[in-house]
Structures are given as structure tokens and as C-alpha cells.
Amino acid sequence: MRATREVRRTVARLADGRQIIYFDDTPDAPARTAVDTRDLGERAAAGHIRHDALTGDWVAVAGHRMHRTFLPPRDECPLCPTGRGSVPSEVPDADYDVVVFENRFPSYAPVAVDNVEAPPGYLHAPALGRTEVVCFTSDHESTFAALTPHRVRTVVDVWADRTAELGADPDVAHVFCFENRGQEIGVTLHHPHGQVYAYPYVPARTAEILTRATEHHARTGRLLGADLLAAERADGSRVVLTSEHWTAYVPYAARWPLEVHLAPHRDVPDLVALDDAERDDLAATYLELLGRLDRFHVSDGGEPVALPYIAAWHQAPARTGREVSRLFLQVMSVLRGPGRLKYLAGSESGAGGWVTDTRPEAVAARLRELAP
């Protein structure tokens, strides 16, 4: 954690041995000494990954996740502090600022059971790695967009902390920080939270971006991400907002009904490399962007429609392609309009041929109009 930030980091263990880390940015926050008293038995092991010979992708087989917690009643939320509901939660303490813990139903974990025998010609491996939950606030009714800039800055530091620590694990090839918001996206817990996946391989989308970046660098000697940002800023028609250190724009070939990229002005490979000024500016700029996105759709009664979205940090893999990678955030939504969703049907899901119903320039223009 940066020395200029007074954030206290406390590491503890849950009843089944999983790690939990408290990040407290409140000056008088009490010591985090509560003990998890639940009878959880042994921690769940991850399963294995299988190689898709047709595409080269890897698929995690995690049958134990079939029965994971799904939209529990408010008083049984596993992400609220213990004592605020009718049952003990995943967080033993009575309150917290930001907390991170290993997922109870992991897709990837430090312990993995690979008890299958692959048929001839097929590849498989244990799903070693880590899947973590990041709770942005103890307030069940809040959202990321409702956080203060001070708290968002803490979350940025937490993302960087987890990227650095997990990326140093020899079993981890890539660290992916993201947030899913809204049932339309598929969230199974309403409490404001995100996740961190530490993969034992470089996932397909990241690998594809890395391939294009490597080819561009070999051809031009420049970073693809930097050239794309420069082109968008020069054109201007898809730029949504610009701050001292960041620019948000709708990409030229946006796939989703609402899609915005948020990129730093300086060439950095990952969240860890952001300096204090860039982190401070990111906290304010990201909140402004989320505010505009939440005002994009309006109901028949004239009320803003809270946007379901995925916010995904694209950063350099842990040990490959770091010299050609450039950090950016992708925020995307399936919502075409109030009550209307973009479905990934035949062309998208079957052939991978995307069709978008919205012009990127029109989306950017609308988001510029929504400036506070």
C-alpha cells in the first residue's frame, strides 16, 4: 500500500482456512480481531481446467459451484458484517470499510482436485489460482457509484494490492479485477461487491488483445493502446470526458449497447504502476462516468434507470507481454433501453459475429450531454 495513504491492512483467516483481508481507511476504525465461529469444515477445493482443441481456450470445470449462494434474503446476505443479519456471514467483524476474502465456491483456488483422466488428444490441468470477493462497503443498500472519492481511491489501492500479490504467485498467469452489477448481468448477491480472478493461464480475450498489441509494436515500435487513445482524442466524436490523467471514450467498434473505455494518459501496464495522482484522479473520474451511465436510460415516468453493467480492468499478464500491454477499464452493459436487453443470440454466440444496435458516436454524444 502507498505510504501516502493511511489505509490499515489486516490479514486473518476464516473458519475453513480461507484468507480475509480488511482494508480500513477510517482513521478510528477498530482493530479487526473478530473470529469466524461457523462450522464450515474443510475449505472447498477448485476443480480442473480443460483445453478446447477447437479454439485453444481453457474452460474451468467447477461442479461444486452449482449450489453456491443465489440471491439470499436480505437478512442472510453473506457479504454484510456479522451481526447485521440473522446468520453469521463471510465477514466475522461487526463492520468494515473494504474487505477482500477468498471465494467460498472458487473457480480457481490454491487447492485443486484434478481427478479426471483426459482421453487421448485432450489436455487438462488442476484449476490452481485464486478467486476473491471484494466488498466495496458494508452498506448493503449502496452501490459503487454512491461511494465517496475517498473510498473509491481505497478500492483502487485494493485492486493494485491484489494484482501485485496474486501476480507474484508462480501458479498465476493473469490477474483480472471486475465488477458485475445487476440481475440482468447475472449477479447472485445484491451487496455491492466485485471479484478478482487469478488464472493459471492467460484467458482468451486477454490473449487476443496481447497478440494484437504485440503485432502492432513489432510493426510500429509503439503501443497499440496509446495509439488508439491518441486517435480517439484527436477525432473527439466518441470522447465522453477527459480529466488531467484519464480519458473515457466509446470505442470505434463498440460491441455492447453501452460500452465505454477509460484509459490513463500515461503508458502503464497495470493497476500497480499507477501513481498517487493518477489514482486520485481515477477515483473522481470513474465516479463521474458511472453517474452519467446511470442517467443514460430514462423510464416512461422520467426517472433514471440504474444501469446493469460489467466493469473489467484489462491489464498486462503477470509474466508475459508486459512491455506491449497498456491498462484500460472497459464498462459494458446489455441494456439497450428500459426493459430491453441485448441477447447474445445466434450470430454472437454461435459464430462470434457481433452486431450492435447503437452507433458509438451517438452513445458518446448522449453521455457528453449528461455532464453534471
Q: What is the pLDDT of residues 295-306, one digit of tens each?
A: 999 999 999 999
Q: Are 106 and 62 in contact (CB under 8 A)?
A: yes
Q: Are residues 172 and 213 in the same domain?
A: no
Indicate which CATH number applies to the domain containing 161.
3.30.428.10
Catalytic option among 48, 124, 174, 193: 193
Q: What does the alpha-carbon distance between residue 341 and residue 350 come to, in Å, rounded to a whole number?
A: 18
The answer to whether residue 308 scores a pLDDT higher than 60 is yes
DSSP SS3 for 336: strand
Pull the grid cell for residue 158.
485494493
What domain range is 197 assigned to? Answer: 8-201
pLDDT in tens, 153-183: 999 999 999 999 999 999 999 999 999 999 9
Where does a domain end: 168, 201, 234? 201
> Do 182 and 89 lie in a common domain?
yes
Any domain includes 131: yes
Mean pLDDT taken over the chain: 95
- Active site annotation includes 174: no
More confident position, 248 or 5: 248
Does residue 176 fall inside a structural domain? yes
Same domain, 174 and 237: no
Q: What is the DSSP letter of 184?
A: T
The total domain count for the chain is: 2
Q: Are 229 and 263 in contact (CB under 8 A)?
A: yes
Whether residues 152 and 188 fall in one domain: yes
At 161, list the grid cell: 494490492
Please state, for a pLDDT cut of 70, what percent of the chain lies above it: 98
Q: Which residues pair with 135 in a beta bridge?
A: 99, 193
What is the structure's pLDDT at 370? 97
Cα–Cα distances in angstroms (integers) from residue 96 to residues 100, 128, 353, in the given order? 10, 29, 44
Please report whether residue 2 resides in a domain: no
Q: What is the pLDDT of residues 210-245, one digit of tens each?
A: 999 999 999 999 999 999 999 999 999 999 999 999
Round to whole Å and give the CA distance between 18 and 181: 25
User: Same domain for 57 and 120?
Assistant: yes
Backbone angles phi, psi at 163, to 5 degrees: -60, -45
At residue 1 the predicted structure's pLDDT band, cuts being 50, 70 and 90, is very low
Instruction: Tell me how far apart the alpha carbons of residues 135 and 153 are, in angstroms, rounded to a whole number.
Output: 14
Q: How far apart are CA 190 and CA 80, in angstroms?
A: 10
Last residue of a domain, one of 157, 181, 201: 201
Shared domain check, 182 and 88: yes
Q: Please indicate, yes or no, whether residues 153 and 243 belong to a single structural domain of this protein.
A: no
Claim to verify: residue 21 and residue 163 sit in the same structural domain: yes
Domain boundary among 166, 201, 236: 201
pLDDT in tens, 46-80: 999 999 999 999 999 987 777 777 778 999 999 99
Residue 313 shares a structural domain with residue 188: no
**CA gap 324, 326 in Å, rounded:** 7
In this predicted model, what pLDDT tens digit does every residue of 244-295 receive, in sequence order? 999 999 999 999 999 999 999 999 999 999 999 999 999 999 999 999 999 9
CB-based burial, 113-128: b 16+ in 10 Å, e otherwise = ebeeeeeeeeebebbb
What digits encode the pLDDT tens for the residues 97-156? 999 999 999 999 999 987 778 889 899 999 999 999 999 999 999 999 999 999 999 999
Residue 1 falls inside a structural domain: no
Q: Do 365 and 225 share a structural domain?
A: yes
Q: Name the pLDDT band for 5 (thresholds 50, 70, 90).
A: confident
| Spatial CB neighbours of 60, under 8 Å, sequence gap ≥ 6 | 46, 47, 48, 49, 107, 108, 127
pLDDT band at 4 (very low <50, low <70, confident <90, very high): low
pLDDT on residue 366: 97
pLDDT of residue 372: 87
> What's residue 2's pLDDT?
41
Say whether both 353 and 319 belong to one domain.
yes
Question: Does 3 fall in a domain?
Answer: no
The answer on 248 and 165 residing in a single domain is no
